[in-house]
């Protein structure tokens, strides 16, 4: 499967403060050319940085491991 490299358009956001934080993250990902995964459920799309997600989970496990 070839990765999609198209443009992202945000059509609606419920919370303005959350919107500003999310736009900042999207800008950082764009500038760093971070690959992201997109998950959809109904009409909601969630973008995830898979590398950062795994790194955060491993860091949490290493600090909370018995």
Predicted confidence (pLDDT) per residue in 13-65, tens digit? 788 888 889 889 988 988 998 988 888 888 778 888 999 999 999 999 988 88
Contact between 39 and 48 (Cβ < 8 Å): yes
Quote the pLDDT of residue 3.
62
Quote the pLDDT of residue 52.
92
14 secondary structure, DSSP code: S
Whole-structure pTM value:
0.66
Burial readout 14-50 (b: 16 or more C-beta within 10 A, e: otherwise): eeeeeeeeeeeeeeebeeeeeebeeeeeeeeeeeebe
């Amino acid at each position: 499967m070839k990765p999609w490299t198209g443009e992202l358009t945000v059509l609606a956001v419920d919370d303005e403060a959350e919107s500003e934080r999310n736009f900042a993250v999207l800008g950082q990902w764009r500038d760093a050319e971070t690959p992201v995964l997109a998950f959809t459920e109904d009409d909601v799309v969630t973008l995830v940085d898979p590398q950062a997600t795994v790194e955060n989970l491993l860091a949490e496990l290493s600090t909370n491991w018995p």
